[in-house]
Amino acid sequence: MARAMFEYTKTVLRKVSFDVNLFSKEIQKAIKRLLPHEIEELKIWVKSLTEQQPELQPCLIYLK
């Protein structure tokens, strides 16, 4: 079940990546929902996404 939540979170983040504010809100929700090791995976995934979409870089502050 937990892995499904991680995949769902990535799907949602992909869909809202057009808007920095929505993306930030979804990152904050994800941090509350995911397990600690999944948050570490999410950090890696978001960093790679921000390389493709630099406008999302301010959202990295939530993943520190």
Question: Which pTM does this prediction carry?
Answer: 0.89
Note whether residue 15 is domain-resident: no
Structure confidence at residue 46 (pLDDT): 96
Residue 32 domain-assigned? Answer: yes
Residue 6 is given by DSSP the state H
User: 22: how many CB neighbours lie within 10 A of its CB?
Assistant: 14
- Count the Cβ atoms, other than its own, within 10 Å of residue 13: 21
Residue 9 located in a structural domain: no
Closest CA to 43 of 8, 2, 1, 10: 10
Residue 62 lies in a domain: yes
Tens-digit pLDDT profile for residues 3-59: 899 999 999 999 999 999 999 999 999 999 999 999 999 999 999 999 999 999 999
The total of structural domains in the chain comes to 1
User: How many other C-beta atoms lie within 10 A of the C-beta of residue 4?
Assistant: 8
Q: How many CB atoms lie within 10 A of CB 51?
A: 10
Q: Which domain holds residue 51?
A: 21-64
Does some domain include residue 30? yes
